[in-house]
Structure 1
């Protein structure tokens, strides 16, 4: 799938973000190796530890539908800066992806940069 198309899906879904505390909307689109795409948004909670990032929402949706291998993820927010996955999301992505999993980091202007997960999370914990 084209990087721009995956990013557009992330941009579109962020309208569903539940972010009343931070006001920082994030959308993510995960491309499974099967070709299916799963989207997610950040979902905040008054108990901040219960907040879930958009990337993990999308990954968990994919896994709950039987997917176990991720080819790419695109992330979009309302920021002028590129939006990167947090450390926890990087580890979750690594659980179902590999060093070559594509990470497309976008901004509110539709601009993006692309990394490989191995660049963003060297020396990750691996499946045992």
Structure 2
């Protein structure tokens, strides 16, 4: 599966979060990583077990935390899983409809997290290339 990395992060939302969170930004991004790893695993486990109720909370958590950092594509996938999970709980069905989204979830999470961590790394030089010169 290929992921369009150009659509993964809304960089203006990311910068707004970075400004709002200030010195705590990197620490909170670390929490997002930890929580995200747990949420993705919980969603996958619940999907394997056919347990719609167990999908809802980790999908909801991942959706909210993703939006905080501008990870809109990841948030949209988590939201789709959450909505399907809630509908399946109400109708007492297995969450089979969520499979397509669950398959996309881990690679999207990993690609998004890599982009966020790369951008948050204070050691990465962000100087734009000068006109007429090659970027170093």
Which TM-score bucket, shorter chain as reference?
A: under 0.3
Q: Considering fraction of residues, name the structure with more strand.
A: 1
Bigger CA radius of gyration: 2
Q: Considering fraction of residues, name the structure with more helix.
A: 2
Q: Which has the higher contact order (CA 8 A, sep 6+)?
A: 2
